[in-house]
Structure 1
Amino acid sequence: MEQQIYDSLIVGGGPIGMACGIAAKKRNLSHIIIEKGCLVNSLYNYPVNMTFFSTSEKLEIGDTPFVSHNHRPVRREALEYYRRVQTLWNLNVHLFEEVLGIKATEENGKLVYEVSTSKTTYKAYSITIATGFYDIPNLMNVEGESLPKVKHYYDDPHLYAFTDVAVIGGANSAIDAALETYRKGARVTLIIREEEINDRVKYWVKPDIENRIKEGSIQCYFESEVKQIKEKSIVIQSKGNEVEIPNDFVLAMTGYQPNFDFLSKMGISLAEDELKTPAYNAETHESNIENLFLAGVVCGGMRTNTWFIENSRVHADIIYDTLIERLK
Structure 2
Amino acid sequence: MIVEKEVIIIGAGPIGIACALACKKRGIDYVVLEKGTLTNSLYNYPLNMRFFSTSEKLEIDTIPFISNNPKPNRDEALEYYRRVVTSNQLNINLYEKVIDVIKEENFLITSEKQRYNAKKVIISTGFYDLPKLLNVPGEELPKVSHYYKEAHPYILQKTIVVGASNSAVDAALEIWRKGGDVTMVVRGKAIGERVKYWVRPDIINRIEEGSIKAFFNSEITSIKEKEVIIKTPNGTKTLVNDFVVALTGYQPNFKFLQKLGITLSEEKNRPIYNAETMESNVAGMYLAGVICGGDETHKWFIENSRIHADLIAEHISKSL
Kept in 2, the 8 Å contact 1:40–1:79? The answer is: yes
**CA positional deviation for 1:105:** 2.7
- Partner residue, 2:26: 27
* Identical residues among aligned pairs (%): 53
Counterparts of 2:217 and 2:27, CA distance in 1: 54
Kept in 2, the 8 Å contact 1:62–1:85? The answer is: no
Output the amino acid matched with 2:130. Answer: I
- Partner residue, 2:192: 198
Aligned to 1:61, what secondary structure does the other structure show? coil
Alignment pair present for 1:92 and 2:91: yes
- Partner residue, 1:238: 232
TM alignment of 1:130-169, pairs within 5 A: 130-169=124-163
Kept in 1, the 8 Å contact 2:3–2:115? The answer is: no
- Partner residue, 1:61: 60
**CA positional deviation for 1:272:** 2.7
Counterparts of 1:128 and 1:203, CA distance in 2: 34
- Partner residue, 1:109: none
Counterparts of 1:44 and 1:197, CA distance in 2: 26
- Over 4 Å off, 4+ runs: none
2:166 to 172, 192, 195: 172
Aligned to 1:126, what secondary structure does the other structure show? strand
Residues 207 and 123 of structure 1: is their aligned pair in 2 closer, same or farther, counting only changes over 3 Å?
Answer: same
Counterparts of 2:11 and 2:279, CA distance in 1: 17
Counterparts of 1:22 and 1:307, CA distance in 2: 20
**CA positional deviation for 1:240:** 4.3
Counterparts of 1:39 and 1:231, CA distance in 2: 36
Counterparts of 1:100 and 1:271, CA distance in 2: 24
Report how many aligned residue pairs link the two structures.
Answer: 320
**CA positional deviation for 1:5:** 2.8
Aligned to 1:159, what secondary structure does the other structure show? helix
Kept in 2, the 8 Å contact 1:8–1:29? The answer is: yes
Give the unaligned 5+ runs of structure 2. Answer: none
Give the unaligned 5+ runs of structure 1. Answer: 107-111
- Partner residue, 2:258: 264
Counterparts of 2:117 and 2:92, CA distance in 1: 15
Counterparts of 1:89 and 1:61, CA distance in 2: 12
Aligned to 1:237, what secondary structure does the other structure show? strand
List per-residue Cα deviations over 1:42-91 (Å, max 9, x = no partner). Answer: 00000011000010011011321111110011101111111000111111
Output the amino acid matched with 1:298. Answer: I
Output the amino acid matched with 1:82. Answer: Y
Aligned to 1:317, what secondary structure does the other structure show? helix
Output the amino acid matched with 1:297. Answer: V
Counterparts of 2:45 and 2:253, CA distance in 1: 18
Counterparts of 2:164 and 2:210, CA distance in 1: 17
- Partner residue, 1:127: 121
Aligned to 1:322, what secondary structure does the other structure show? helix
- Partner residue, 1:292: 285
Normalising by the residue count of structure 2, what TM-score does the alignment of the two structures yield? 0.98
**CA positional deviation for 1:4:** 4.9
- Partner residue, 1:252: 246
2:307 to 307, 314, 325: 314
**CA positional deviation for 1:104:** 2.2
Output the amino acid matched with 1:73. Answer: P
Alignment pair present for 1:278 and 2:271: yes
Kept in 1, the 8 Å contact 2:60–2:306? The answer is: yes
**CA positional deviation for 1:279:** 1.0
Alignment pair present for 1:80 and 2:79: yes
List per-residue Cα deviations over 1:175-195 (Å, max 9, x = no partner). Answer: 000000000110000111111
Counterparts of 1:246 and 1:181, CA distance in 2: 17
1:223 to 217, 222, 228: 217
Counterparts of 1:272 and 1:265, CA distance in 2: 17
